[in-house]
Amino acid sequence: MSTDTTPATETDDGLFADIDLGWEHRKNQLFLGIIFAASMFGVVMLVLLLLDIATDLYVGLTEFNISIVDFLTRDGSRREELSGFRGAIVASVMLMALTAFLSFFVGVGSAIYLEEYAPDTRITRLIEANLANLAGVPSIVYGLLALAAFVNGIGMGPILLGGAIALALLVMPIIIVSTQEALRAVPDGVRNGSYATGATEWQTIRNVVLPAAMPGILTGTILALARAIGETAPLIMVGALFTNRMPFGPFDRFSAMPTQIYNWAAEPSQHFIHLAATGIVVLLAFMFVMNGIAIYLRNKYETEV
Amino acid sequence: MATQKTQETDDSLITTDVQTGSEDRADRSHNTVVRARHLDVYYGEDQALSDVSIEIPEHEVTAIIGPSGCGKSTFLRSINRMNDQIDVCRVDGELSFHGKNVYDEDVDPVALRRKVGQVFQKPNPFPKSIYDNVAYGLRVQGKADDVDCDAAVEKALRGAALWGEVNNKLDSSGLDLSGGQQQRLCIARAIATDPEVILMDEPTSALDPVAASKIEDLIAELVEEYTVIIVTHNMQQAARISDRTAVFLTGGELVEFDDTATIFEDPADDRVEDYITGKFG
């Protein structure tokens, strides 16, 4: 057996002896190492961040006797041992619901118009270019706009609706762009099949295009809302600070999760700092759940169409 | 009111004219269902069809053959105005369906497409169940409440020779079928609403030979009830399944239109003979 193999190997060695790939393979390994380190950088940072928060949470729970149940069932307070997160959680959930309501229909509607109806004219291209610009505007600018136009302009005051308008303006370009991408991913053959069956444009969009694009639209919307739930600057601009009571409707004053955390973190007392850490854990939990739903939807439907 | 009457008279005149025309050819007693007169189609600056005149008879299979880019598909899509979907497309001349120019102001392309169905080159079932795919046309056309939807779906699937393969899984997605089954599902979708004309744009070019021959058999049955106009790349297919053949050549010109046997055995035009015998194209 060995006698059979050895001459064959010798022939192979002879066959490729003139090609030296050693250096090329080392370069390949080196490049692989660099890009792997680059991709791990983000993961390491996230782990460090989570560790830091977990430590603060642990210290808060043990040394400052923060009770998770009390934390979730009490509103904010000037007294640190009585302070909780309930008002902020409720405010954030209401904000998300209002923001989704305000931005989803307008955003999806304009995406449908741009993608399915609008002729390819200079005006259409101008709108699309400016949507990309809008998506890049710093969030605090939306806060300023809401402050000037709604909170002060029409005398709305620093109420939850004002914050929801600021956040809705912030996420709308993102929703429009991701909806456009979802609509573009629906194959034209399906549209033509519908038209050729004698369907009108709206019947085609309603019955064929939207159902096929809906997972993509929902994923984009949820990811946009997950970004909005952590936004602090626009809420500070509309005055969502120093409110400890739980809001009962869109016309109440409020402080959402990120602004409450911001508020606590600025306090000199260590107890408040650890309340902030606990709040961050709750906020991150909300974000992870929302991202998880988005990933679930994407995986569930991505095999179709 | 007066205008309306004139219109009606015009239409009936045209129809009579057509019937007289067909009586001349006593052996072909069929009425003309689609007729083009000096039809030009442009995409922007490019002319895709040039002065096409043709009379396509009822209840026959008319094959349209020709080399790539000769305007076969353009002609097919101009019959049911699917060309309207293309912004830069412009149509001159007349293309009439039962004597009515479909490019008249008062013709709604959606209504036209309810009488002229289409099957595409690539099978394009909707991402819905098999049942919903077939019932789609009935629903969008508002017929689903008037007719027995289950019976109509079964009839269409039987008509498309697919019933036996799918009758126990009507709820599963149309996308789970094989390519050939998907194409027959698309044919079922097209015939479920009972159109008069079915346009087919290379319906077998994306299929394997076995699936293609099933579609060919099906076309022979469909022509009992419908008028079939089929664009094909495959000359053998045109020879096998069609009653008439139209040959388009590069430049969007209709070179010859006659009985399939005549086209393949004794074409009048030398260019057609060259094309048929494979000298070019």
Among B81, B126, B143, the strongest candidate for a mutation testing the A interface, having the largest count of A CBs within 10 A, is: B126
Cα of B166 to nearest chain A Cα, Å: 19
- Domain range for A145 is 91-255
CATH of the domain at A152: 1.10.3720.10
- Chain A (2-31) residues lying within 8 Å, Cβ to Cβ, of chain B: none
Question: Phi then psi for A18, rounded to 5 degrees?
Answer: -80, -5
List of domains in chain B: 31-103+110-276 (3.40.50.300)
Answer whether residue A189 is part of any domain.
Answer: yes
Answer whether residue A110 is part of any domain.
Answer: yes
Tell me the residues of B at the A interface, defined by beta carbons under 8 Å apart.
Answer: 80, 82, 85, 87, 110-111, 113-114, 117-118, 120, 122, 124-128, 136-137, 139-141, 173, 175, 186, 189-190, 193
Q: What is the pLDDT of residue A27?
A: 94
Cα separation, A35 vs A99, in Å, equals: 38
What's the angle, vertex CA A107, arms to CA B125 and CA A103, rounded to 5? 130
Please check the confidence at residue B8 and state whether its pLDDT lies above 60.
no
Domain total in chain A: 1
Q: What is the pLDDT along chain A (305 residues), one digit of tens a residue?
A: 444 445 555 555 678 888 888 899 999 999 999 999 999 999 999 999 989 988 888 888 888 888 888 888 888 877 877 888 888 999 999 999 999 999 999 999 999 999 988 888 899 999 989 998 988 899 999 999 999 998 888 888 888 999 999 999 999 999 999 999 999 999 999 999 999 999 999 999 999 999 999 889 999 999 899 889 989 999 998 887 877 788 888 888 888 899 999 988 888 888 888 888 899 999 999 999 988 988 888 887 765 54
Q: What is the pLDDT of residue B19?
A: 39
Give contacts of A189 with chain B, Cβ < 8 Å: 120, 122, 124
Question: Phi then psi for B141, rounded to 5 degrees?
Answer: -90, 5
Give contacts of B83 with chain A, Cβ < 8 Å: none
Give contacts of B127 with chain A, Cβ < 8 Å: 190, 211-212, 304-305
Q: Which of B114, B120, B122 sits opposite A198 (nearest CB)?
A: B114
Answer whether residue A243 is part of any domain.
Answer: yes
pLDDT tens digits along B218-230: 899 889 889 999 9
Answer whether residue A270 is part of any domain.
Answer: no
Cα separation, B94 vs A238, in Å, equals: 63
Answer whether residue A298 is part of any domain.
Answer: no
Cα of A279 to nearest chain B Cα, Å: 43
Answer whether residue A147 is part of any domain.
Answer: yes
CB contact under 8 A, A305 and B175: yes
Cα separation, B254 vs B93, in Å, equals: 15
Answer whether residue A6 is part of any domain.
Answer: no
CB contact under 8 A, B124 and A212: no
Answer whether residue A83 is part of any domain.
Answer: no
Q: What is the pLDDT of residue B195?
A: 92
Cα separation, B249 vs B257, in Å, equals: 12
Instruction: Identify which of A183, A166, A209 has the alpha carbon closest to the alpha carbon of residue A128.
Output: A183
Do residues A228 and A135 make contact, with C-beta atoms less than 8 angstroms apart? no
CB contact under 8 A, A192 and B136: no
CB contact under 8 A, B136 and A207: yes
ipTM surpasses 0.85 = no
Q: What is the pLDDT of residue A239?
A: 82
Looking at per-residue confidence, does B278 or A99 come out higher?
A99
Q: Which of B85, B127, B189 sits opposite A197 (nearest CB)?
A: B189
Please check the confidence at residue B189 and state whether its pLDDT lies above 90.
yes
Give contacts of B126 with chain A, Cβ < 8 Å: 190, 193-194, 208, 212
Please check the confidence at residue B2 and state whether its pLDDT lies above 90.
no
As to burial, measured by CB atoms within 10 angstroms (0-12 exposed, 13-18 middle, 19+ buried), residue B208 is exposed
Cα of B97 to nearest chain A Cα, Å: 16
Question: Phi then psi for B247, rounded to 5 degrees?
Answer: -110, 115
Do residues B33 and B196 make contact, with C-beta atoms less than 8 angstroms apart? yes
Q: What is the pLDDT of residue B28?
A: 45
pLDDT tens digits along B139-180: 998 887 778 889 999 999 988 889 989 989 999 999 999 988
Do residues B103 and B71 make contact, with C-beta atoms less than 8 angstroms apart? no
Query: pTM of this prediction?
Result: 0.79
Using CA atoms of A137, A138, A144, A150 in order, give the dihedral in degrees to the nearest 10. Answer: 60
